[in-house]
């Protein structure tokens, strides 16, 4: 199994002034969401690409979310639905726009070679309000969650140079049962399936934040005395 990097994006944190329109998305804000496409090589370190920045390091970036990845296959859907002419590769604030690696074919723990680097899938992306604010679509994060077209994150196992056009070659798949699509269903759509939440939380290569959230959900279900599969009282 392999994919390909179609586009590579990095960017600095930028401050945007209020426009005076009165809409919530036009208030002053700071973000690293707006990234610039690069055609040359970029150095990928253990916390992301050199020169790439995040405004809120509490929820973005770090070693387990070093690289944000989005499948190119979804862009025609969003272009048709949103009718925003400039919505193209990089529109989700991703570092890598990739081909042939959608959510239902990528699993937690998948290890890929990528140029001179080596990366591993750590978790799905959870879209936040900044996506909605960037494109001025109030419910865009919810739309992404509903479709499952979320993208995902890599942690970096070996640093090195990466270029647009580099192949992503699968080296190892330790947890084929935990596709990104499965993770999204468990987290967002099948919240009463506490057994699924616990099983996913126990995956060693899932990011810590997802493990904690799913484990807490499973424990609450257990404490409430509900069925692990139906959510109904036992």
pLDDT tens digits, residue range 23-46? 777 777 788 888 999 998 999 999
Q: State the pLDDT at residue 228.
A: 46
Co-location of 149 and 37 in the same domain: yes
> Mind listing the pLDDT tens digit for each residue in 49-69?
999 988 676 667 789 999 999
Q: What is the pTM of this model?
A: 0.91
**106 and 202 inside one domain:** no
Judgement on whether residues 122 and 228 belong to the same structural domain of the protein: no
Residue 76 pLDDT exceeds 80: yes
- The total of other beta-carbon atoms located within 10 Å of residue 209's CB is 15
Helices (H) and strands (E) in the chain, counts: 6, 13
Structural domain contains residue 182: no
In a domain, 228, yes or no: yes
pLDDT above 60 for 226: no
Same domain, 148 and 51: yes
* pLDDT mean over 195-215: 97
The verdict on 45 and 118 lying in the same domain is yes
CA dist 188 to 16, 92, 102, 182, Å? Answer: 31, 19, 18, 10
Phi, psi angle pair for 98, to nearest 5° = -120, 155
Over residues 102-155, the pLDDT tens digits come to 999 999 999 999 999 999 999 999 988 888 888 989 899 999 999 999 999 999
Residue 36, domain member (yes or no): yes
pLDDT of residue 58: 65
Judgement on whether residues 29 and 61 belong to the same structural domain of the protein: yes
What range does the domain containing 48 cover?
A: 2-175
> What's the mean pLDDT in 160-180?
98
Cβ-Cβ contacts under 8 Å for 92 (sequence gap 6 or more): 68, 70, 125, 127, 131, 151
Q: Is the pLDDT of residue 79 over 90?
A: yes
């Amino acid at each position: 199994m392999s994919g390909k990097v179609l586009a590579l994006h990095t960017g600095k944190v930028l401050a945007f002034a209020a426009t005076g329109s009165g809409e919530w998305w036009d208030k002053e804000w700071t973000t690293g969401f707006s990234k610039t496409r690069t055609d040359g090589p970029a150095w990928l370190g253990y916390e992301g690409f050199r020169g790439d920045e995040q405004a809120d390091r509490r929820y973005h970036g770090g070693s387990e979310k070093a690289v944000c990845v989005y499948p190119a296959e979804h862009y025609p859907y969003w272009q048709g639905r949103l009718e925003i002419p400039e919505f193209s590769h990089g529109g989700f604030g991703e570092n890598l726009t990739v081909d042939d690696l959608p959510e239902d074919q990528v699993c937690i723990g998948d290890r890929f070679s990528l140029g001179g680097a080596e990366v591993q899938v750590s978790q799905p992306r959870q879209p936040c309000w900044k996506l909605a604010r960037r494109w001025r679509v109030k419910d865009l994060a919810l739309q992404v969650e509903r479709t499952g077209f979320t993208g995902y994150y890599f942690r970096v196992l070996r640093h090195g140079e990466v270029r647009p056009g580099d192949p992503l070659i699968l080296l190892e798949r330790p947890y084929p049962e935990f596709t990104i699509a499965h993770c999204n269903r468990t987290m967002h759509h099948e919240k009463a399936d506490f057994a699924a939440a616990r099983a996913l939380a126990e995956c060693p290569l899932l990011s810590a934040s997802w493990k904690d959230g799913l484990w807490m959900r499973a424990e609450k279900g257990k404490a409430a005395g509900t069925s692990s599969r139906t959510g109904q009282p036992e």
